[in-house]
Amino acid sequence: MSHESKDPIGAHLGIDSARSTPRPAAFLDRDGVINHDDGYMGTHHRIRWMPNAAKAIRRLNDAGYFVFLFTNQSGVARGFFTEDDLGTLHDWMRSELTTQGAVIDDIRYCPHHPDGSVAGYLEDHHWRKPSPGMILDLMQHWPVLHDGSFVIGDRPTDIEAAEAAGLPGFLFAGGDLDAFVADVLMQTRASQPAPLPNPPPRRGME
């Protein structure tokens, strides 16, 4: 069963220069990072955006990053909403962000939980954080450069998933998301090896 966004922006496999060019990626948790975590949100009426969420995503877009959401959504397994509800919500979120120039390239979610009540969703799925399945699936479907990529989440399970995927994880405690992303980008760039200087031009025979 696929739990990727049904939006064609994220799901199509057409050849596209923006998609085919290898780039680092920012893997962002949804609840508690992009929006406030008010518990089992299956409709847009309950979404409260994190301050400067769109600005933060736009900053990542402008810096040349793929931007992905990866989110545990056990509300499906618990019967609070369906996968169709979740797809409608994610389409709305992406549309709202796009109006502000902020692009989410793709989304992965895990609807499973072993303590749920809806048949078909009761396993401890390998996509469920702290397992890295959603991150690894995105890296298989997109040309992600490992160097420079990172995860931002609000729970230790997000950071554990990052570490399991071999990526640095940054724990977000709320507040201005754009300021946090700006700091993460600064730390990430500082940790990258400096490029080798260009060799001096070879002089002709004298």
| Residue at 205: amino acid letter | M
> Of these residues, 7, 16, 29, 85, which one is catalytic?
29
- Residue 203 tokens, joined: 């002089």
Told to judge if 29 belongs to the known catalytic residues of this protein, a careful annotator would answer yes
> Of these residues, 16, 31, 62, 84, which one is catalytic?
31
DSSP symbol at 35: B
Buried b / exposed e along 80-117 (16+ C-beta atoms within 10 A) = bbebebbbbbbbebbeebeeeebbbbbbbbbbbbeebe
Told to judge if 158 belongs to the known catalytic residues of this protein, a careful annotator would answer no
**In the block, which residue shows the tokens 């502000």?**
100
- Residue 79 tokens, joined: 């019967």
User: Ramachandran region of residue 175, left (φ > 0), alpha (ψ -120 to 50) or beta?
Assistant: left
Q: Cα–Cα distances in Å, from 168 out to 3, 20, 158, 162?
A: 24, 24, 10, 6
Q: Where are the alpha helices (DSSP H) in the chain?
A: 8-11, 17-20, 53-62, 83-98, 133-141, 156-164, 177-191
Catalogue the active-site residues.
29, 31
